[in-house]
Amino acid sequence: MIAVVCVDDKMGMTFLGRRLSRDSMLRARLIELCGGACLRMNSYSKGQFEEEYSIFVSESFLEEAETGDFCFVENCDITPFEEKIEKVLLYKWNRHYPSDVKFTFPLEEKGFVLKNVYEFEGSSHEKITEEIWER
């Protein structure tokens, strides 16, 4: 599975019960990267995506994910699925929010290496940083 996670400067994923990841340019980038591969998420995330792209929605999407599937993770912990994770796409908002859900998966400790960094302009932020971490 390829985990896709959006975080602030202190690894927050949500703040005050609200999503951090709402940005149309990020969604377009993710759809482009998927290239037709399976994109999985829970019902919390589904409302962000247009109906024309094939999204697989399930509350157990991380358990169901297979090799090569993209999993858009906004409000859950990927740590229990460590063995399934091939790659992590980490999107950094370059801001600090008062987060209530944090990304706690220790990438380097688990053998992931930063392979690429790409910056692009979002619809909600001047700069979004994409980090690609692979085993």
What tens-digit pLDDT sequence spans the chain (135 residues)?
999 999 999 999 988 777 877 788 988 899 899 988 899 999 999 988 876 677 999 999 999 999 999 999 999 999 999 999 999 999 998 877 788 889 999 999 999 999 999 999 888 878 999 999 999
CA distances from 80 to 24, 41, 53, 96, 105 (A): 29, 16, 28, 26, 10
Closest CA to 131 of 100, 97, 87: 87
> Residue 105 phi/psi, 5° resolution?
-70, 120
- The Cα–Cα gap between 82 and 104 comes to 12
pTM for the structure as a whole = 0.93
CA angle (88 as vertex; 110, 32 as ends), nearest 5: 165
- The Cα–Cα gap between 41 and 43 comes to 7
What is the chain's Cα-based Rg? Answer: 14
Containing H/E element for 43?
A: helix 43-46
Q: What share of the chain is helix, strand, coil (3-state, %, to 5)?
A: 20, 35, 45
